[in-house]
Amino acid sequence: MPEGTKIADVDDVPESGSYRFTATDAFTNETEVILVRCEENPGIEAWRNTCTHESQRFDRGDGAAIRDGEIVCPRHGSMFDACSGACDNGPAAGTELPGVAVAVESGSVFLTDDNYAFLHAGGADDGPGSTSHISL
């Protein structure tokens, strides 16, 4: 097992789309991260869930738009390579998505980035939720 926290099973990451989770940085700031499929090893990449152009979220709860192996910004259409994070078109041309280190082993994805700690699945606004079935 790699050093790190299990985020999800590989099967949880859609072939076209993304798996969103929330992590905290060293200052306890919540940061949304997306997992996307990539044809290069390890087969899954993790990127901060924000376009480099105007801080637009790629995945707002229904998965990021992926076209021909590129993550599409829903606001201006800039496209980022799902494997490298590089953008060569639109308003974000010449930038790269900030990556988050993950490892894939035995069908699971682990957060291995020392700059982040896994908080919960879903977006920052989703929160871990209540496990109680009692309503008042």
Residue-wise pLDDT for 4-43, tens only, equals: 999 999 999 999 999 999 999 989 999 999 999 999 999 9
Q: Identify whether 89 is part of a domain.
A: yes
pLDDT of residue 1: 66
Does 103 score more than 90 pLDDT? yes
Does 119 score more than 60 pLDDT? yes
Q: Identify whether 39 is part of a domain.
A: yes
pLDDT of residue 130: 38
At 87, which CATH number? 2.102.10.10
Q: Identify whether 105 is part of a domain.
A: yes
Residue-wise pLDDT for 71-95, tens only, equals: 999 999 999 999 999 999 999 999 9
Q: Identify whether 48 is part of a domain.
A: yes
Single pTM value for the model: 0.90
pLDDT of residue 133: 36
Q: What domain range is 81 assigned to?
A: 5-121
Q: Identify whether 135 is part of a domain.
A: no
- Edge-first strand order for the sheet with 117-121 is 44-48, 30-37, 19-24, 117-121
Taking the CA atoms of the chain, what radius of gyration do you get in angstroms?
Answer: 15
Q: Identify whether 130 is part of a domain.
A: no
User: For the chain, what is the domain count?
Assistant: 1
